[in-house]
Amino acid sequence: MIRHLTASGGWSRRQVPSNAMEPTYSDEAEAYREKIHAFLAEHLPARWKGIGALPAEEALAFTDQWRATLAANRLLAASWPAAYGGGGLSALEQVILVEEFYRAGVPVGGSNDVFGIQMVGNTILAWGTDEQKAHFLPRIISGEDLWCQGYSEPNAGSDLGNLGCRAELDGDEWVLNGQKIWTSAGHLANWIFVLARTDPDAPKHKGISFLLVPMDQPGVEVRPIEMISGDSEFNEVFFTNARCAKENVVGAVNAGWGVAMTLLSYERGEAAATFPITFRAELDRLIELARERGKADDPVIRQRLAWCHSKVEIMRYLGMRTLTKFVAGEHPGPDASIFKLYWSEYHRIVTELSLDILGPDAMVPSGRWPSNAFQTDDAGAPNDSASWVGTFYAARAGTIYAGTSQVQRNILGEMVLGLPKEPAGLKGTWRELQQAKTA
Ligand SMILES: Cc1cc2nc3c(=O)[nH]c(=O)nc-3n(C[C@H](O)[C@H](O)[C@H](O)COP(=O)(O)OP(=O)(O)OC[C@H]3O[C@@H](n4cnc5c(N)ncnc54)[C@H](O)[C@@H]3O)c2cc1C
């Protein structure tokens, strides 16, 4: 069955033509889905409507308690080997787990887990030593270590290879000096993974190392940045003779660029399973809003909603293509850029539509604000003007973080379409390039 918009502005169901794509899962996969349903039924409160239906403070408390439940049942970092506290799930089981959690409107982890589990944890699994895995991975699952991402700098965003935060060896320790910026959740974290310049006399991508740095030390200062919403979810982080152990390098010294790119592929990849679900739910809620506000019969609004519907359906198919590769064991490639570009540009447009439906109420938002500054509001959130205005703000950032739209287009142009590469620019070591810029 698929849904379509009726003349009254509501969704109805009709039969899919027999030649339409109707993906099915194996019996084993469906059996695993039943297990997840049983887990949710056992552990969620009665009459659960999604975490967005809870007031903001209760949602935070619920997330902490839910995270502990997941860890105890090995459903946090569910793909990691059991030796490190994970669940050892297959790729297909992981997909089913996140699908069902997102459908039920429950988080797959806590607020820092995107950095701890998805990014640095997976990267340590891929590149780390046995000692690093044994030390760091269980501490991520227990919640003892909360991570943030120290990549961007004032002069190194899209051109990340230009980064200048320095790390020099002093006996058994690295000493760091420099600045990071836009560090999401940096004020909540006690560890930061840092891309640092360890050899300024190598070409710019070759003198970088990937370091694991404790933040609870005098040489690390975190300064919040206020966003358009008034919240401060990201920060500047300053290092002044900050230190970390010599062995806290992931991969080889001066070979951090490859490690950094592995991590970015995790950052851009997982959305394929979850976004078609969250964006579908968001659009259904927007259609409700149009009805509540008497706009469901407005032909222009209907036309724009229909456009959004087609976009969300295409997103579902794009997601399936990426997931099919993931389940077959392929690493996300340029496909991840197609998906990132697609959802982030769509989200700007759908949230602009939400403000047009709200009309003047969008100027004086009221009710529950989204609990995070990323992507859609939480499942089950009330259809308040504050929810839509907050999501509109978040959508502005979507085309910037995890690689801007222009950068995604460059990747697609060069790697998928085989168009000529960007001009390479000046050649030389990182130090020579900095000198050339200031000459
Ligand atoms: C909400 C949010 C959270 C973030 N969280 C983190 C975090 O936790 N950790 C972290 O390290 N970073 C984080 N970032 C930073 C993010 O990765 C950078 O903002 C992003 O990489 C862009 O870099 P920039 O801001 O320096 O912009 P610039 O790179 O200066 O880009 C400015 C403009 O120029 C365009 N441009 C640049 N280069 C090219 C090119 N070659 N071709 C065409 N156009 C180009 C860009 O597309 C953009 O429009 C976050 C950003 C946001 C918005």
- The model's pLDDT over 185-206, given as tens digits with 9 standing for 90+, comes to 999 999 999 999 999 999 999 9
pTM attached to this predicted model = 0.91
Summarised one tens digit per residue, pLDDT across range 337-387 is 899 999 999 999 999 999 999 999 999 999 999 987 788 999 999 999 999
Residue 97 has pLDDT above 90, yes or no: yes
- In whole angstroms, give the CA distance from residue 388 to residue 368: 10
What percent of the chain has pLDDT above 70? 94
* Exposure letters 97-113 (e unless 16+ CB within 10 A, then b): bbbbbbbbbbbbbbbbb
User: 192 forms bridges with which residues in the sheet?
Assistant: 148, 213
Q: Which of 427, 384, 271, 285 is nearest to 337 (CA)?
A: 271
Determine the pLDDT at residue 21: 61
Cβ–Cβ under 8 Å, residues 195 and 202: no
Q: Is the CB of 53 under 6 A from ligand 1?
A: no
How does DSSP assign 413-434, residue by residue?
IIIIS-PPPPP----SBHHHHH
Atom of ligand 1 nearest to the CA of 115: 8
Residue 230 has pLDDT above 90, yes or no: no
- In whole angstroms, give the CA distance from residue 304 to residue 314: 16
- In whole angstroms, give the CA distance from residue 115 to residue 186: 10
Q: Which residue has the higher pLDDT, 7 or 433?
A: 433
- In whole angstroms, give the CA distance from residue 89 to residue 74: 10
Q: Is the CB of 234 under 6 A from ligand 1?
A: yes
The residues carrying an active-site annotation are 267
Which position has the token pair 């290092």?
Answer: 239
* Exposure letters 332-350 (e unless 16+ CB within 10 A, then b): beebbbbbbbbbbebbeeb
- Listed in sequence order, the DSSP H helices in 80-226 are 91-104, 113, 122-127, 130-142
Nearest CA, atom 25, ligand 1: 157
Residue 17 has pLDDT above 60, yes or no: no
Q: 147: pLDDT confidence band, cut at 50, 70 and 90?
A: very high
- In whole angstroms, give the CA distance from residue 41 to residue 48: 10
Segment 27-50 shows an average pLDDT of 95
Nearest CA, atom 27, ligand 1: 157
CA of 370 to the centre of ligand 1 (A): 23
Q: How many beta carbons lie within 10 A of that of residue 172, not counting itself? A: 9
Q: What is the Cα gyration radius of the chain?
A: 23
* Structure-block tokens of residue 111: 């607020």
Which of 59-68, 122-131, 318-327, 425-434 has the lowest average pLDDT? 318-327
CA of 38 to the centre of ligand 1 (A): 42
Contacts of 261 (CB under 8 A, 6+ apart): none
CA of 58 to the centre of ligand 1 (A): 33
- In whole angstroms, give the CA distance from residue 115 to residue 199: 26
Determine the pLDDT at residue 12: 37
Q: Is the CB of 232 under 6 A from ligand 1?
A: no
Q: How many beta carbons lie within 10 A of that of residue 115, not counting itself? A: 26
Q: 439: pLDDT confidence band, cut at 50, 70 and 90?
A: confident
CA of 182 to the centre of ligand 1 (A): 9
Q: Is the CB of 401 under 6 A from ligand 1?
A: yes
Q: Which of 151, 182, 234, 408 to mutate to test the pocket of ligand 1 (most atoms within 8 A of CB)?
A: 182
Contacts of 138 (CB under 8 A, 6+ apart): 84, 85
Q: 267: pLDDT confidence band, cut at 50, 70 and 90?
A: confident
Determine the pLDDT at residue 8: 35
- In whole angstroms, give the CA distance from residue 304 to residue 84: 48
User: 403 forms bridges with which residues in the sheet?
Assistant: none
Mean pLDDT of the chain: 91
Cβ–Cβ under 8 Å, residues 430 and 203: yes
Segment 200-227 shows an average pLDDT of 96
Summarised one tens digit per residue, pLDDT across range 100-130 is 999 999 999 998 999 999 999 999 999 999 9
Q: Which of 146, 165, 404 to mutate to test the pocket of ligand 1 (most atoms within 8 A of CB)?
A: 404
Residue 16 has pLDDT above 70, yes or no: no
Summarised one tens digit per residue, pLDDT across range 295-313 is 999 999 999 999 999 999 9
What percent of the chain has pLDDT above 90? 76
DSSP 190: S
User: 223 forms bridges with which residues in the sheet?
Assistant: 236
Summarised one tens digit per residue, pLDDT across range 405-424 is 999 999 999 999 999 998 87
Interior angle at CA 148, CA 406 and CA 141, nearest 5: 125
Q: Which of 201, 203, 202, 185 is nearest to 193 (CA)?
A: 185
Determine the pLDDT at residue 24: 78
